[in-house]
Structure 1
Amino acid sequence: MFRGVTQLSLDGKGRLAIPAKYRDELIASCAGNIVVTADPSRCLLIYPQPAWEPIEQKLNSLPSIKPQIRSLQRLLIGNACDVEIDGSGRILISPPLRQFAGLTKEVVLAGQGAKFELWDSDRWDQEIEAALVYRNGNIPPELEEFSL
């Protein structure tokens, strides 16, 4: 289970150092083999390979004749990159994915259970500010019975 927010920096080549608290689990659970792909929110999703495979299978099993499904398949599967944690505990984020998510030097790695989201730091701050809209009573019906 991945949770928490970590402020990180990409190096000049686009490499991201995976924090030790996650790195050990990733190496143990998937031998450091992960998948990085695009998300409609303009962040990147980072999955341990075993967690990604059923998602990819399900996406591929959907009827691609429908334009919305085909667009999502293009985005998620078409941009998916297999990456491996190197000996220094880093992964390389490809230039097209960095460009897609607007990643500069300062980034945020946010644990989301079975996956991570990788955001440009400024965009992450905007997303968090936008999430505070719920404090004004604008709660979706699915969350009305939810309690923290």
Structure 2
Amino acid sequence: MFRGVSPINLDAKGRMAVPARYRDLIEQLCANQLVATIDTEARCLLLYPLPEWELIQAKIEALPSYNPAARRIQRLLIGHATDLELDASGRLLLPTMLREYAQLDKKLVLVGQGKKFEIWDETLWNQTREEYLQAVSDAVLPEEMQLLSL
């Protein structure tokens, strides 16, 4: 579904234009209804088509709230989840709180992750990508990954 890295500009009002190549698919999947939330592992945002988010949210809600780690995830992911709608010009208005969390400035990167996107500040993405590339030589791949033929 969603793949690739797309550079995007954030306007002064906090809007980002979704690349045209994704707009028809977003319309088909979710009638332009999306949900953005924070990523708890990195300073980026997660952007889901609404039906996909509803599946994730149901799983998160099913976690035992008396478990501190589960409660943390519930508070962070569901608590920051924000309904967004792609406007007629293909733009999304990113709320200030989410932009501040992800340290989003004028230049963004939209990273396709299959069923969702990640939204990164361009500089932070470039730094993180370089860290990932440097760590590749030290990484031990799961057995399933070793079986893939690239």
Whether TM exceeds 0.5 here: the answer is yes
Partner residue, 1:64:
65
Distance 2:38 2:83 in 1: 13
TM superposition shift of 1:138: 2.3
TM superposition shift of 1:18: 0.7
Distance 1:135 1:69 in 2: 30
Distance 2:76 2:90 in 1: 27
DSSP 3-state at the match of 2:64: coil
Partner residue, 1:114:
115
Distance 2:142 2:23 in 1: 37
User: Unaligned regions of 5+ residues in structure 1, if any?
Assistant: none
TM superposition shift of 1:75: 1.1
DSSP 3-state at the match of 2:16: strand
Distance 1:106 1:9 in 2: 5
Partner residue, 2:16:
16
User: Unaligned regions of 5+ residues in structure 2, if any?
Assistant: none
DSSP 3-state at the match of 2:48: strand
Distance 1:24 1:35 in 2: 17
Query: Residue 88 of structure 1 aligns to which amino acid in structure 2?
Result: S
TM superposition shift of 1:105: 0.6
TM superposition shift of 1:140: 3.6
Partner residue, 1:54:
55
Partner residue, 1:104:
105
Query: Residue 108 of structure 2 aligns to which amino acid in structure 1?
Result: V
Partner residue, 1:30:
30
Query: Residue 81 of structure 1 aligns to which amino acid in structure 2?
Result: T
Query: Residue 10 of structure 1 aligns to which amino acid in structure 2?
Result: L
TM-score by length of 2: 0.93
Distance 1:134 1:75 in 2: 28
DSSP 3-state at the match of 1:113: coil
TM superposition shift of 1:144: 4.0
TM superposition shift of 1:124: 0.4
Partner residue, 2:6:
6
Percent identity for Structure 1 against Structure 2? 50
DSSP 3-state at the match of 2:110: strand
Instruction: Count residues in correspondence.
Output: 148
